[in-house]
Structure 1
Amino acid sequence: METPTDLIVVADPDENVKKGFQRLFSGHKNVVCFSESDPALLFLKQNPGTSVVFSCFNLPGRGGTAFLRAAETIVPLAARIMLTREKSAEAIKKALNEGHAFMFLEKPCQPTELVSAMETALSHHRQLAKDRALLERTLAGSVKLLIDMLALFHPEAFSRTAAVRKQALKLAKALGMKKTWELEMAVMLSPLGEALLPKQILARYRAARSLTEQERDVLDRAPVQSRELLKNIPQLEKVSEYLYLSGRGYDGSGFPKDGPTGQEIPLVSRMLKLLTDLWYASPESGPDAASFEALTINWRKYDPKLLELAREILMDDLPESRRKHVAQCYIRSLRPGDILVDDALTESSHELVLARGHLLTPTTIRRLEHFHQTAGVRQPIRVERHEVVEELLGDAG
């Protein structure tokens, strides 16, 4: 038996209508019926691939016209059809103009008429999907060309897109996201605002050096520049909004100050926030245990479920040594036998104190303490930590 592929949503409290749809189409279509508007809209949000939406005019809840208008926002590629006993020109006008209905059918509707309407609606939906796919491929190619050109002039800003895109797609797969085009576009365009910022501010930020309040404000407003550049480009309106909110913390911190919090922040924005901060916290070889520990320090800024899922997925490919034996420590927590994962640098002048790969001893740890007291040392410090018998280390510093 052929598996139904087209998803049809019917919103009508009339049991005879729902039974009629099931009888006519359930053998070769996936028909789901609702009696009220809000449960149907929730279902549409969870099933963005819906092909056709039927609604009666007097639908309990928000009404058929408002329901179809809301459905257009959620599933713009679905064909929308109004089914009603209303015969007035005003009702038809309202359904077509305000509800943006593709078709208007009068009740009672003959089976042959309903089957013909279904075929026409499905053909319309498939053409919309085909046009959308072509537009997305064309736009994606244009964006790729733009990014490649900008990367020539701002290599630092766009160096993260390839790694973050791969991580974003892994996360999207685990979340069951079927449509990832907007996510991919958001990742590719995420450094756009940074590329327009003064390089000295970016350099200080990447080096984890302190910023003035004015510099912090300039940095925080990078998403505004991205939104202004992208919001007028067709098909990128949502992407521009995702980027605008990508600096917003789950706890309400960050930019914009009066923005949404928690689950109200779009999922793509929450993913961008997490993966961008993870990239900055990671070494060149990619995220490790210390990278996630760095994010855990400010865990309130991130969607807790996303943070845990990212840790689980992105740590899967790491060798056991990087997964369990890398720690992020302040100087007071360093132990003899720790091996520096990154260069230890002074906080202000960014000068080298100890090179990466250095085996720490009691003497070198005291040296780091002295440097920190006089010039300041960037902390926390990432070290590779093994269970080593301290007596074998000696005091080789």
Structure 2
Amino acid sequence: MEKTTDLIVVADPDKDVQAGFQRLFGVHMKVACFSESEAALVFLKQNHGTAVVCSSFNLPGRGGTAFLRAAESIVPQAARVMLTREQSADSVKKALNEGHAFMYLEKPCKPADLTSAMELALAHHGQLSKDRALLERTLAGSIKLLIDMLALFHPEAFRRTATVRKQALKLAKTLGMKKTWELEMAVMLSPLGEALLPKDILARYRAARSLTEQERDVLDRAPAQSRDLLKNIPQLEKVSDYLFLSARGYDGSGFPKDGPVGEDIPLVSRILKLLTDLWYASPESGPDAAALEALTINQRKYDPKLLELAKTLLLDELPEETQKHVAQCYIRSLRPGDILIDDARTESSHELVLSRGHMLTPTTIRRLEHFHQTAGVRQPIRVERHEVPEGAMSDTA
């Protein structure tokens, strides 16, 4: 067996079994052994890249079948293997049907058979990981298209996503989050509930004007609307739950009224709560000390660790213009991939056409052209541009 960085988790109280796994596979890969279910599950929650999970049938704690079922929800790409001396058909059926085991092995198991089984399990894990990656890329592309289309009709609601996504990824990297796909999807879809709200209510809320009890109720239901729209889409079940709790304060305030408190609120929801409120408190140029001070006044609503991290990470950035090439373009010179630095607005009515931070596509460029033909769009438009030809500074009329 070739040396790899794959991780095998073994949950079995038999010390000989644990020693056997270490002897056979410890040189080639990482092996973590546990004698009961709960400690193993805690370890899995901290090691989402686990490749194979092996369990004895009579595992102390919740039992082998329930343990494998719980492991599936934590590390769905891991191959699950049941090890047992039980030989009844009912035991085999329970392991395969209820524990969703990939393989069932009888004890004692010959080293050659166990090695062969682990090779098959690793190959199964590899295929599951490839399938998941392909599905995530496909789903992410579909969601990006959906967001682009929604942003054409609700630019105010979706104008924050580009900024918040960058900030969320910066926090995630510092926190050591290895999987950020669900966080990115939650950020991209977070304005969905707002886009469904009546524009007059949303405008009053953003202007910090008083709302009637009925209007407040409509506003509070926005996270629930997002969850209801997304919960039936495969792979977005967790994202829909994160969005549902994204208005929940760390101290138990906000929506929903009977929701979790503190660390029981999912981390993604806590990040969304903090960065969404920070975005609304910040000036057009981005977060500043005053915006973070505004959040500090209501600090009980936010995860204290995240709030302190935001103060450290989000105030030390250089201005955008000093880090990236800025081009001043007329519409006919815009390119797909350009990122708007300022809001694109109509000349006379100053109506928002596309919000700052939006990455342009052929569709959005055509939208700007159409608006310019009918209502006029203020030009030139400042954009962030990559892969600039040498010597080129900006496009002109």
Instruction: Give the secondary structure class of the aligned counterpart of 2:109.
Output: coil
Which has the higher Rg, Structure 1 or Structure 2? 1
Shift of 1:103: 0.4
* Residues 156-206 of structure 1 deviation map (CA, whole Å, 9 limit, x = unaligned): 000000000000000000000000000000000000000000001111111
Cα distance in structure 1, aligned partners of 2:215 and 2:307: 28
Choose between structure 1 and 2 for higher RCO, CA contacts under 8 A separated by at least 6 residues.
2
Cα distance in structure 1, aligned partners of 2:216 and 2:227: 19
1:141 aligned onto 2:141: yes
Cα distance in structure 2, aligned partners of 1:122 and 1:218: 50
Cα distance in structure 2, aligned partners of 1:152 and 1:4: 47
Alignment check: 8 A CA contact 1:36 1:59 kept: yes
Alignment of 1:65-104 (within 5 A): 65-104=65-104
- More displaced stretch, 43-52 vs 308-317: 308-317
Map of 1:198 onto structure 2:
198
Identity of aligned residues (%): 82
Map of 2:239 onto structure 1:
239
Map of 1:305 onto structure 2:
305
Q: What is the one-letter code of the residue matched to 1:301? A: K
Cα distance in structure 1, aligned partners of 2:8 and 2:279: 42
Alignment of 1:1-397 (within 5 A): 4-317=4-317
Q: What is the one-letter code of the residue matched to 2:106? A: E
* Residues 278-306 of structure 1 deviation map (CA, whole Å, 9 limit, x = unaligned): 00000011000000011111111101111
Alignment check: 8 A CA contact 1:288 1:318 kept: no
Instruction: Give the secondary structure class of the aligned counterpart of 2:247.
Output: coil
Alignment check: 8 A CA contact 1:84 1:105 kept: yes
Cα distance in structure 2, aligned partners of 1:95 and 1:41: 18
Cα distance in structure 1, aligned partners of 2:52 and 2:226: 35
Shift of 1:3: 6.7
Cα distance in structure 2, aligned partners of 1:119 and 1:127: 12
Instruction: Give the secondary structure class of the aligned counterpart of 2:316.
Output: coil
Shift of 1:208: 1.5
Shift of 1:4: 3.9
Where structure 2 has 5 or more consecutive residues not aligned to the other structure, the ranges are: 320-397
Q: Say what the alpha-carbon RMSD is for the aligned residues.
A: 1.0
How many pairs align? 318
Instruction: Give the secondary structure class of the aligned counterpart of 2:9.
Output: strand
Instruction: Give the secondary structure class of the aligned counterpart of 1:10.
Output: strand
Instruction: Give the secondary structure class of the aligned counterpart of 1:156.
Output: helix
Shift of 1:68: 0.4
Cα distance in structure 2, aligned partners of 1:304 and 1:215: 31
Shift of 1:65: 0.7
Map of 1:348 onto structure 2:
none
TM-score by length of structure 1 reads 0.79
Instruction: Give the secondary structure class of the aligned counterpart of 2:214.
Output: helix
Q: What is the one-letter code of the residue matched to 1:245? A: L
Instruction: Give the secondary structure class of the aligned counterpart of 2:185.
Output: helix
Q: What is the one-letter code of the residue matched to 1:107? A: K
Instruction: Give the secondary structure class of the aligned counterpart of 2:253.
Output: coil
TM-score by length of structure 2 reads 0.79
Alignment check: 8 A CA contact 1:140 1:185 kept: yes
Alignment check: 8 A CA contact 1:9 1:32 kept: yes
Shift of 1:318: 5.2
- More displaced stretch, 2-11 vs 74-83: 2-11
Shift of 1:315: 1.1
* Residues 104-160 of structure 1 deviation map (CA, whole Å, 9 limit, x = unaligned): 000000001000100000110110000000000000000000000000100000000
Cα distance in structure 2, aligned partners of 1:54 and 1:249: 39
